[in-house]
Every structure is written in structure tokens, then in C-alpha cells.
Amino acid sequence: MTNTEDAQYLCGLKREDFQTKIDGKDTDLYILKNNQGCEVAITNYGGAIVAIMVPDKEGNFANVIQGHDNIQDVINSPEPYLSTLIGRYGNRIAKGRFQLNGKEYILAINNGPNSLHGSDSAFNARVWDATQVSEHAVVLKYTSPYGEGGFTGELEVWVAYTLTNDNEFVIKYQAKTNKRTILNLTSHGFFSLAGIANPTPDVHDLICEVNADYYLPIDETSIPTGEILKVAGTPFDFRRPKPVGRDIDSDNEQLRIGNGYDHCFVLNKKEEGEFSFAARILEPKSGRTMEVYTTEPGVQVYTHNWADGYAGQHGATFPRRSAICFECQHFPDSPNHPYFPSVIIEPDREYTQKTVYKFGVEK
């Protein structure tokens, strides 16, 4: 790819800025395009999504996902999960311990007393094998060795990123194991529909809808208490669209613990594994919209509550609450809550999952 070709990219990213060797494996940048002029830029380091270029109601394109503009900044990001793939276990496991096959497994502790996202150097910090299969799609593959992060079994994972001509960003996951184990994969996209900037605006004015009648309350260490509570009459009621900021600072113990929203919503499903509507956001000034669809039973909604204004791509900065995440997944700490949907996978059954982020404009 020449510099001339680089200049053709709306995102302004350069392939050479993402090329290095880590543990003998090459990192690179992959650009997906569609016939609407949209782009998605991905690096195979952690499967990080570093740009999603979509138009506003005036036709002006901007990057609506937080990322960095070179591989060293991706590797050393103050937010290690910034728009990366997450595994083996998305979200938290209490005290980093769970029982399986009559044995206790002990994981890395990296979030207070708990294990978060499989550790700081899990799937988000691995170089995946990448194959760009078309202008629209790239497939990533990673083999997680037996015992990595404390998890049992060797695990092969494939993630396909596709940008359709309907402005849908599709993420399909497949995995197989050689031994009974647990698995909870997700993508941790930090979405800023106003467009990243210096500073990137907060998400308080975003109009948000979440298709969930229930949510999971958390304890002081952000682990689910085990209760499944109705959203009705609480700040967690997004069944009808409302601004993210309307209730985010209300006098509520759950919001105090999370420093904002950092909770798993139980998605309304007719049956397990149904591919259905999960959430929608509208950025009123730009008119940009994003709809989320998934096969997963839950979505962790996180409002970037701990960001401190650190530097991102092309001089952008990411202050507190400048992004919203919709991490489609199974529930946090599921191995320690037998009545939560199971995260156990067996050697004779392939794990599959599909999540779609569909971008649009409301004029």
C-alpha cells in the first residue's frame, strides 16, 4: 500500500503506522469499505477497531469509535480494552475463581478483588492472524493455549468483521475447544456518535433505548448480587428512549458504585440465542444513529466513567463519559450463578455468536 493509497482513506490512518512485530508476529491495519463511502479500520493487535467513518445528516463523515492512530499507542493505551476484542471471559468473575468439573480454577486478579475481561493481557493484547477476504470483510483467528489466563482447554477462536452496504458493522464469532471450559466473548467498542474530537463531547445528550425489562444489580466490587431486578421505576429504565444523562447522576446506590452506568441489562428474548434488537442511540446534533442487534442474552452498558481526558487518534482526547459501550455478552460472573445462562462450552459443540451495529441518520 502506497502513501497515495493511504490518502484515499477517510480515516486518515496509515498502514505503516500499525506495522510492527510482537513475539514474531506481524501487526497491520485493515480497512473495510462499502458503497456508501463508509469505512471501518481494524488492527489485528487485539482486534482493535480504530475507526468507524460514517456520515451525519449533512453528509459529513467522522470517526464514531474511540481509538489510536498508531500501534504503539494501541499497545500502551491508558484504556487497555479500547474498542478491542475481549476474551476468554468478558466482564468480571468474582475473586477470579470458579468451579468446573469439580475443580476450582484461579484467574488473574486485575480489577479490585476480581478478574476482568480475562486479564489485562488477554485477547485484547494478542496478535491475531488476519485474512482480508474482501473489501468488506476481514477474518481474525487466535488460538488460546491450555491454561492461558488460568482457563482450561485449548481454544480456537475466529472473529469475522464485515461492513455491509446497509452500513451494518457485523461481528460474527466462532470458537471450539478440546476440553470443557467457559467462554464469554465480546467486542468493547467505545462509541462516540458526535465524532471524536478535542475534547470528545460527553454522551449525556444521546437519546438511548435498551430492549430490557430487567437488569443485574451489582455489589461494591461491581459483581452481580445474583438478583435480577425490574428496570421499571429506576434510572435503568431505557425501554422508552431518553437521554443518557437524564438519570446518570441521580441519587442511586447502583449508579454510585459504577460511577455511572456499568451494568448488564437482561435483553428481552423470545428464546435463547434469538438474534434480536438490543439497543439504539441517537446523537441529536449530528443526527447519527446506531442500532444494536445480538444473539447474546445480555448487554453491558458502560458510559466510560473512569476516563480522564487521555489522548487518542489525530489529537482527539477522551474525557470522562465521552463514549458509550454496548458489550453484547453473557452475564458477568455466570460461572458462580448457576441460574444465569450457561457459559460452559463442550468439545463437541461449536460456540457461535453474532452482533450487529447498524449506523444511520435521522434528519
The reply to whether 188 belongs to the active site is: yes
Beta bridge partners of 20: none
What SS3 class is residue 47?
coil
Q: Which string of DSSP letters, residue by residue, matches 294-332?
A: ESSSEEEEE--TT---EE-GGG-EE-TT--BEEEEESPT
The reply to whether 327 belongs to the active site is: yes
Measured in residues, the chain has a length of 363
Q: Give the strand order in the sheet containing 39-43.
A: 29-33, 39-43, 49-55, 61-63
Among candidate residues 117, 188, 304, 330, the one labeled active-site is 188
The amino acid at residue 159 is V
Q: Are 332 and 299 in contact (CB under 8 A)?
A: no
State residue 131 phi and psi, 5-degree precision. Answer: -135, 115
How big is the CA angle at 295 (ends 294 and 299), to the nearest 5 degrees?
Answer: 55
Q: Where are the alpha helices (DSSP H) in 205-291?
A: 253-258
Q: Which string of DSSP letters, residue by residue, matches 324-359?
A: BEEEEESPTTGGG-TTSPP-EE-TTS-EEEEEEEEE
What SS3 class is residue 263?
strand
* E strand or H helix that includes residue 347: none
The amino acid at residue 268 is N
Q: Are 151 and 144 in contact (CB under 8 A)?
A: yes
Q: What is the CA radius of gyration of the chain?
A: 19
Q: Which string of DSSP letters, residue by residue, matches 112-141?
A: TTBEETT-TTSGGGSB-EEEE-SSSEEEEE
Supply the residues annotated as catalytic: 188, 327
